[in-house]
Amino acid sequence: MITRDFTILAPEGMHARPATALIKLARQFQSDILLKKGIKEVKMNSLLNILSMGVKGGEVVTVLVEGIDEEVAAEALNTFFKQTAW
């Protein structure tokens, strides 16, 4: 399993548009991908769940990836969190 922490760069936080993009990205991999903030942990396949975490700008989220393509998936997510202009 790969675990990575990311700081949300956008001041407005994790909005519907980037969250939708994130779900679409996660769907491309076979690995199980979880998103964690504090004690809350959700699968990265539900917009309802991701939005209801209420991730704000500047907050740190943890992404947990486990599966046969976990390295590729973690790298793709890394690029997404670091570079996506949302």
Partner 1 sequence: MQGIGVSPGISIGKAYVLRQRKEVASGVVLSDETAILREIGRFREAVKLSVEEVHELFKKVVGEERDILEVQLELLQDPQMESDVLARISSDKMTARDAVLMVIGLAVQVFEQMEDEYLKARAADVQDAGNRIVRNLSDRVNALISNARSTAGSGISRSGFEDDEGLIIIAEDLSPSETIGMDRSKVHGFATQSGGKTSHVAIVARLRGLPAVVGCGGELDGILDGDLVVLDGSHGLVLVNPTAAIVEDYRKKREIFRQEVRRLAALKDQPAVTTDGVRIELLANIATAEDMEQALAFGADGVGLLRTELLFMERDSFPTEDEQVRYYTTILLRAGNRMVTIRTLDIGGDKPLPYLELPEEDNPFLGYRAIRICLDRKDIFLTQLRAILRASVFGKCRIMLPMISGVQEVRQARAILEEAKGELLRSGIPFDSAIKMGIMIEVPSAAVIADLLAKEADFFSIGTNDLCQYVLAADRMNKQIKDLYDPYHPAVLRLIRYVIEQGHLQGIPVGMCGELAGDPQATSLLLGMGLREFSMSAPAIPAIKNILIRSSETAARKNFQL
Min CB(83)–partner 1 separation in Å: 9
Cα 81 to Cα 9, 33, 46, distances in angstroms: 8, 14, 18
Q: Which of residues 34-63 bind partner 1 (CB under 8 A)?
A: 43, 45-49, 51-52, 54, 56-58
Task: Evaluate whether 78 touches 2 at the Cβ level (below 8 Å).
Answer: no
CB-wise, 56 or 71, nearer to partner 1?
A: 56
The Cα–Cα gap between 86 and 74 comes to 19
Q: Which residues bind partner 1 (CB under 8 A)?
A: 7, 9-13, 15-17, 20, 23, 43, 45-49, 51-52, 54, 56-58, 85
